[in-house]
Amino acid sequence: MKRLLFTIFLAMTIVSCKTDFTAQEREVIHAGDREIMYVLSIAEPEDSLQLREVCLPVSERMLQGEDYATLRRRMLATVQDPENEGVGIAAPQVGVLRRMVAVQRFDKEGEPFEFFLNPEIVERIGEKQSGGEGCLSVPEIRGDVERWQKIRLRYHDEQFAEREEIIEGFTAVIFQHELDHLDGRLFIDYIE
């Protein structure tokens, strides 16, 4: 009987870790006394290893709690920090290995930041074009990278509804850069 109860407890713990933020992720989400989060950098060996990790999916259950709301708010504050401003940020850049990105939508009026959960590029359309890139996690390095100018993106929105849309131009480039972070790739891997 003890063995059966232990097996059930272990199974529930494993399932819970996949559908909820882990204790370590919650610690990162709530760390510090500022809204701006620490951004992992390739200049730090431990950070560099973490930036090369493949991320886990975000579950619908994760969206229900305060952890997600705090992570969302703090990621947005971090990418919009006037001292280190960006046009996109991925959760692994702030130490949360989940498939979540915020992207500034230059293709929409007002150029808002929007959040995308479990995003994936399902189609690359047309041709690639070379353009300059930088990254909050790769300080003081810029380089030219070839990216598709049009992509079809599938993702979950913040109500966890599945969506699909075609994105073009600079915004498509941002998505490709941020989605690379979710699979442990950095723009410097592609510098021409």
pLDDT tens across 138-191, in order? 999 999 999 999 999 999 999 999 999 999 999 999 999 999 999 999 999 999
Q: Is 178 a catalytic residue?
A: yes
- Quick one: DSSP state of residue 36? S
User: What are residue 14's phi and psi, to 5 degrees?
Assistant: -65, -45
For residue 130, the one-letter residue type is S
Q: What is the pLDDT of residue 6?
A: 41
Range list of β-strands (E), 2-137 = 88-90, 100-104, 113-135
Count of beta carbons in the 10 Å neighbourhood of residue 160 = 15
Query: How do residues 1-56 score in pLDDT, each as one tens digit?
Result: 555 444 444 344 444 446 799 999 999 999 998 999 999 999 999 999 999 999 99
Q: Where are the domains of the chain?
A: 2-189
Give me the catalytic one of 25, 53, 178, 192.
Answer: 178
Class of domain 2-189: alpha beta
